[in-house]
């Protein structure tokens, strides 16, 4: 065993020198203190880099199919009442949704911006599955009222028992409801008076949309439509002015992830001329964000350009705020990573060894230089 220990001892690459041969100097002490401070500073700097996550970015072709695009928005119209404000969406596949109500909330606001009332929009009025009363007939014993849709019925048994149901039937036909006072249900509910009561008010509308992942648009316009050209009925209410001034509090295509920048958040546009069309042309870039724990967020980034189209003289314009979006074929992936522990240890060893070696060279240079100077001084005295 002693023989084995002796062979191992002969492999020692760090032979020890007797302390009697050590010579400690002031310059060596100063160099040791300075090098130790530098060593600690560089060590903690490297430790911070090891603990801090970095984000790797890659560009790949988007091969996903059949997905949906989620749009979250919060927009304030200071000069359009909530009753007159409509949200529509359509895409190049031909799918069209008029006056969207699902997952949409409207807040009536006064001229100072204070909330008057919060109104959650539904999907529509309740439908009577098996009406007992035919249109235009009289109610018999135990029969239920079934209001007329004024020519917009899809079937003979369809009922419109409220002004909202009549409006919904008209929307399905693509018709414009120009005079609510001629509709019994609207007259009974005081729909026209309701619009007059909200005159001078604004509306904050927020919520979310789920649309097909294809190019399309969604827009905020007046809630009365006409025929297949689908334009607001400017003759019914507020025909002289339709102010589309607006502030985009939030607009995002997908979920939030760290570092995302939505360029339209906080954008405010004030209308100069009435009945214009404000357009946003948006390029949506699919994005996948994976954090350090492996949790993945499917989202989107986007860039945008803006354009205001003034109403053409002699032609009926389409006032409103339009968001036209298109999808990029390139997907961006962000992945959070940090350097490996072995890489961290390699850098620490390089810091310690490098500073120790450099400090030794500097100390040797100072020591031998000082020694040579003393020797010259002694020779000069002897001379």
Per-residue pLDDT of 239-248, as tens digits, reads 446 788 899 9
pLDDT category of residue 301 using cuts at 50, 70 and 90: very high
172-181, 198-207, 253-262, 324-333, range with the lowest pLDDT: 172-181
Counting other chains too, the contacts that 164-171 makes at CB distance below 8 Å and 24 or more residues apart are: 164/124, 164/125, 165/124, 165/125, 165/127, 167/99, 167/223, 168/124, 168/125, 170/225, 171/98, 171/99, 171/225
pLDDT category of residue 179 using cuts at 50, 70 and 90: low
25-34, 44-53, 298-307, range with the lowest pLDDT: 25-34
Over 60: is that where the pLDDT of 122 sits? no
pLDDT category of residue 120 using cuts at 50, 70 and 90: low
pLDDT category of residue 12 using cuts at 50, 70 and 90: low
Over 80: is that where the pLDDT of 329 sits? yes
Top pLDDT among 150 and 296 is at 296
- Measured CA to CA, the distance from residue 282 to residue 327 in angstroms comes to 9
Task: Check: CB of residue 133 under 8 Å from CB of residue 139.
Answer: yes
Terminal Cα-to-Cα distance of the chain (whole angstroms): 62
The three-state secondary structure class of 277 is strand
Which DSSP string do the residues of 25-38 spell out, in sequence order? -HHHHHHHHHHHHH
- Measured CA to CA, the distance from residue 98 to residue 88 in angstroms comes to 5
Give the per-residue pLDDT at 381: 61
Over 50: is that where the pLDDT of 349 sits? yes
Which of 28-32, 188-192, 233-237 shows the highest mean pLDDT? 28-32
pLDDT category of residue 308 using cuts at 50, 70 and 90: confident
Over 70: is that where the pLDDT of 223 sits? no
Q: What's the average model confidence in pLDDT over 275-292? A: 91
Top pLDDT among 182 and 95 is at 95
Over 80: is that where the pLDDT of 133 sits? no
Q: What's the average model confidence in pLDDT over 141-160? A: 73
Give the per-residue pLDDT at 79: 86
Q: What's the average model confidence in pLDDT over 258-282? A: 87
The three-state secondary structure class of 98 is coil
User: Is the CA virtual torsion 318, 320, 321, 325 positive or negative?
Assistant: negative
Give the per-residue pLDDT at 226: 39
Q: What's the average model confidence in pLDDT over 90-118? A: 85
- Measured CA to CA, the distance from residue 353 to residue 359 in angstroms comes to 10
Considering the chain, what is the average pLDDT of its residues?
79
Structure tokens at 29: 């002490």
Burial category of 206 from C-beta neighbours within 10 Å (exposed 0-12, middle 13-18, buried 19 and up) = middle
Over 90: is that where the pLDDT of 22 sits? no
């Amino acid at each position: 065993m002693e023989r084995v220990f002796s062979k191992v001892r002969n492999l020692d690459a760090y032979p020890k020198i007797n302390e009697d041969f050590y010579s400690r100097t002031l310059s060596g002490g100063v160099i040791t203190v300075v090098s130790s401070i530098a060593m600690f500073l560089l060590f903690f700097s490297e430790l911070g880099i090891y603990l801090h996550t970095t984000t790797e970015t890659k560009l790949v072709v988007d091969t996903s199919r059949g997905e949906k695009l989620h749009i979250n928005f919060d927009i304030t119209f200071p000069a359009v009442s909530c009753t007159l404000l409509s949200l529509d969406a359509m895409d190049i596949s031909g799918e069209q949704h008029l006056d969207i109500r699902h997952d949409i909330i409207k807040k009536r606001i006064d001229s100072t911006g204070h909330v008057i009332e919060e109104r959650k929009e539904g999907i529509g009025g309740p439908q009577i599955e098996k009406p007992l009363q035919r249109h235009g007939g009289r109610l018999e014993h135990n029969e239920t009222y079934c209001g007329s849709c004024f020519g917009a019925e899809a079937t003979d048994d369809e009922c419109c028992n409220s002004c909202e149901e009549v409006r919904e039937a008209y929307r399905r036909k693509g018709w414009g409801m120009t005079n609510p006072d001629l509709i019994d249900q609207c007259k009974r509910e005081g729909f026209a008076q309701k619009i007059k009561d909200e005159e001078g008010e604004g509306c904050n509308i927020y919520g979310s949309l789920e649309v097909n992942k294809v190019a399309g648009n969604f827009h905020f316009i007046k809630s009365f439509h006409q025929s297949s050209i689908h334009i607001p009925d400017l003759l019914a209410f507020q025909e002289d002015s339709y102010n589309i001034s607006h502030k985009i509090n939030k607009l995002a295509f997908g979920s939030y992830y760290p570092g995302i920048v939505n360029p339209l958040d906080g954008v405010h546009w004030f209308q100069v001329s009435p009945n214009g069309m404000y357009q946003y042309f948006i390029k949506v870039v699919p994005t996948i964000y994976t954090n350090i724990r492996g949790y993945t967020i499917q989202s989107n980034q986007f860039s945008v350009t803006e354009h205001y189209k003034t109403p053409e003289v002699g032609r009926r314009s389409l006032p409103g705020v339009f968001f036209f979006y298109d999808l990029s074929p390139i997907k961006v992936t962000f992945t959070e990573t940090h350097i490996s522990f072995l890489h961290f240890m390699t850098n620490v060893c390089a810091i310690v060894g490098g500073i120790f070696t450099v400090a030794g060279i500097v100390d040797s240079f100072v020591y031998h230089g000082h020694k040579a100077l003393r020797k010259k001084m002694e020779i000069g005295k002897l001379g």
